A and B are shown apart, each in its own frame.
Chain A
Amino acid sequence: MRIIVHNAKCQGHARCWAQAPDIFKLDDDGYILPGDIQVAEGEQLLASQGARSCPERALEVDRTSAARFEPAAMQPRTGEA
Chain B
Amino acid sequence: MAINPVPDHVPPEMVRDFSLFTSPGMPPTPNGDPHAAVACAHDGPPIFYSPYNTQDGRGTWVITRAADQRKVLQDTETFSSHRSIFSSILGETWPTIPLELDPPAHGAFRSLLSPLLSPKRVTALEPAVRERAIALIDRITASATSCDVMKDFAFPFTVSIFLRFLGLPDQGLDTFVGWAKDLLHGDDVERPVAARKIVAFIDELATNRRKNPVDDLMTFIVQAQIEGRQLTDGEIRGIGVLVFVAGLDTVAAAIGFDLAYLARNLKDQELLRSEPDRILLATEELLRAYPPIQLIRVATKDIDFEGAPIRKGDYVSCATMIANRDPEEFESPNTVDLAREHNRHAAFGYGPHRCLGSHLARREIVIGLEEWLARIPTFRIKEGTAPITCGGHVFGIENLILDWS
A26 within 8 A of B: yes
Q: Is the interface of A mostly helix, strand, loop or mixed?
A: loop
Give the nearest-CB partner of B348 in chain A.
A13
Docked-complex contact A28 and B115, CB < 8 angstroms: yes
B100-108, B148-156, B237-245, B391-399: which lies at the interface: B100-108
Taking A14-B359, A30-B359, A53-B342 as contacts, is the C-beta distance between A81 and B107 under 8 angstroms?
A: yes
Docked-complex contact B344 and A81, CB < 8 angstroms: no
B346 within 8 A of A: yes
User: Interface residues of A toward B: which range?
Assistant: 20 to 34
Give the nearest-CB partner of B108 in chain A.
A79
Query: What is the distance, in angstroms, from B79's C-beta to the closest C-beta of chain A?
Result: 14
Docked-complex contact A54 and B354, CB < 8 angstroms: no
Which residues of A lie under 8 Å from residue B345 when comparing CB positions? Answer: 55
Which residues of A lie under 8 Å from residue B359 when comparing CB positions? Answer: 14, 30
Interface string of B102-139 (1 = CB under 8 A from A): 01101110110011011110000000000000000000
B31 within 8 A of A: no
- Total residues of chain B contacting the partner, CB 8 A: 27
Docked-complex contact B342 and A52, CB < 8 angstroms: yes
Docked-complex contact B120 and A30, CB < 8 angstroms: yes
Most buried by A among B104, B108, B117, B352: B352
Interface string of B259-272 (1 = CB under 8 A from A): 00000000000000
B358 within 8 A of A: yes
CA distance A30 to B348 in the complex (A): 15
Interface string of A17-44 (1 = CB under 8 A from B): 1100000001011110000000000000
Taking A11-B350, A54-B344 as contacts, is the C-beta distance between A26 and B119 under 8 angstroms?
A: yes
Which residues of B lie under 8 Å from residue A13 when comparing CB positions? Answer: 348, 354, 358
Interface string of B348-362 (1 = CB under 8 A from A): 101110100011000
Taking A12-B114, A26-B119 as contacts, is the C-beta distance between A80 and B352 under 8 angstroms?
A: yes
B70 within 8 A of A: yes
Docked-complex contact A79 and B103, CB < 8 angstroms: yes
Taking A52-B342, A80-B104 as contacts, is the C-beta distance between A30 and B352 under 8 angstroms?
A: no
CA distance A71 to B246 in the complex (A): 39
For A79, give its contact among B104, B117, B119, B346 (CB under 8 Å): B104
Which residues of A lie under 8 Å from residue B354 when comparing CB positions? Answer: 11-13, 55-56
CA distance A31 to B354 in the complex (A): 12
For B346, give its contact among A31, A52, A55 (CB under 8 Å): A55
Which residues of A lie under 8 Å from residue B103 when comparing CB positions? Answer: 79-80
Which residues of A lie under 8 Å from residue B107 when comparing CB positions? Answer: 78-81
A-B contact list, 29 entries, CB within 8 Å: A11-B351, A11-B352, A11-B354, A12-B114, A12-B354, A13-B348, A13-B358, A14-B119, A14-B359, A17-B119, A26-B118, A26-B120, A28-B118, A28-B120, A29-B114, A30-B117, A30-B118, A30-B119, A30-B359, A31-B114, A54-B344, A55-B70, A55-B350, A79-B104, A80-B103, A80-B104, A80-B106, A81-B107, A81-B111
